[in-house]
Amino acid sequence: MTFLSSGKVNYNARIERASSLASRYSFAREVLGFYGKIAAFQKQFYEQLPRKWGKQPIVPPGGVLRGELNLPPLIEPFEKFLALLQTEAPGPLSAQARLLHNQSKDAWADMLFSSWKTGLLESLPQDSELPAHVAEPLNEFLGRAFLQPYAEFIVSSMLPPNLTMTVCRCPRCNSLPLLGVLRPEGDGGKRYLQCAFCSQEWEFRRILCAHCGEEREDKLPVYVAEQFPHIRVEACETCKHFLRTIDLTKDGHAVPIADDLAAIPLTLWAHENGYTRIQSNLLGT
């Protein structure tokens, strides 16, 4: 099985594509504009990591990504990240960032460690007025958006794993897939899954549900909207989950993370038809 290592992450491509799509799709302009600011922060954070990393090895012992956390290069950027969200994020997220910004650096360290392990910022202050069903997605966003460049930096230094079978979770960090990606190969396209956390891609069978493993073709319908001819909604009638796939054989200029954020109508359509996304993107679009 093939595993694609991204090498150095091209944040400029993500930022430029988000800007281009924002000018094309007015309904996604606010979402893509906010993402552009997040991606600009991630780019700066990512580029600073090599000189701030210290003497600790980049590749974790045993190649287990979610093992140790190198905290020293994280605390100062986390403070800047929370400050950015307070001024640029929508109301509830801004309020949550303001609440966290008032905590101690020791508390931040505990939060980041819990997020690195579980995907959520736990050990949170108890004075938040946000209901749990609102606070939890915001905390997931905070952990994913901030730690994603850190995870991408680590995996860019790791050798590809030896995959002997098709797997539905990331071989690097065990996260769920965010997207499918069809990359040109021969006269067609080879299917990959892209991790929702560390952004790595691994080869995945074309006719197979990435959530429950259903492999009967008649149970795996594919929907494409005229508005987004290069984006597929790959559904499963067995588990009622769907995966969004960016088809680079139809649009070689697409940048999967950015194009996915713009496809808001496809999410609305899927939900109206009873499908649940395997893993939402950072902004839930």
pLDDT-above-90 percentage for the chain:
67
pLDDT, position 278: 96
186 has pLDDT over 90: no
* pLDDT confidence tier of residue 259, bands split at 50, 70 and 90: very high
pLDDT in tens, 195-229: 999 999 999 999 999 999 999 999 999 999 999 99
Look at phi and psi of residue 186 and say left if phi exceeds 0, alpha if psi is from -120 to 50, else beta.
left
pLDDT, position 65: 83
Task: Supply the mean pLDDT for the chain.
Answer: 89
Distance CA 107, CA 79 (A): 12
136 has pLDDT over 60: yes
137 has pLDDT over 90: no
149 has pLDDT over 90: yes
Residue 6's nearest CA partner among 168, 141, 170 is: 170
Distance CA 252, CA 241 (A): 27
pLDDT in tens, 27-40: 999 999 999 999 99
Tokens of 103: 């905590």
pLDDT, position 207: 94
The mean per-residue pLDDT over the stretch 170-174 comes to: 88
Distance CA 61, CA 96 (A): 34
The one-letter amino acid code at 140 reads E
Q: Is the pLDDT higher at 157 or at 17?
A: 17
Alpha-carbon torsion 2, 260, 239, 136, what sign?
Answer: positive
Query: How, if at all, do strands 241-247 and 276-277 pair?
Result: parallel
**CA-based diameter of the chain, in Å?**
58
pLDDT in tens, 77-101: 999 999 999 999 998 899 889 988 9
The mean per-residue pLDDT over the stretch 218-247 comes to: 97
Alpha-carbon torsion 269, 138, 146, 82, what sign?
Answer: positive
pLDDT, position 166: 82
pLDDT in tens, 39-57: 999 999 999 999 999 888 8
